[in-house]
Amino acid sequence: MLEHLNCVNDVYEKLNIECSALATLFREIFGAVAMLNKKAAPAPYRNLFRQIAAEESILQMINGSSLENLGHFLSNPCQAQVTKLVTIPTLYQVLQSNSDIEPLIPVA
């Protein structure tokens, strides 16, 4: 358990350099509180972080037209607009699985 938490902390620190919202989300999903509550990371979140950590180009996750859809979503980020992200499956699934998407907007 301690090894897992050390790994989570290392990843958190490195993610925090790039995107604090993403780092915070990672810690919430995989960190100590989730472990203490015996909450397994939901599949949409596991998939999102796998995609982000993949060695392939980000273009594997978001191509040009998907990036345009993301821009449209971010111009009016609300639950009704989440369907615009269907072309970015991992992000779409995370947003779709939450009734409150507000904390996830900075991640997008």
Q: What ranges do the domains of the chain cover? A: 1-41, 42-108
Please give the pLDDT value at position 59. Answer: 65
Please give the pLDDT value at position 88. Answer: 93
CA distance linking residue 75 with residue 108, whole number of Å: 12
Residue 12: count of CB within 10 angstroms of its CB:
18
Q: What is the pLDDT of residues 51-94, one digit of tens each?
A: 888 877 666 778 888 999 999 999 999 999 999 999 999 999 99
CA distance linking residue 18 with residue 50, whole number of Å: 16
User: Among the listed ranges 15-24, 41-50, 54-63, which one has the minimum average pLDDT value?
Assistant: 54-63
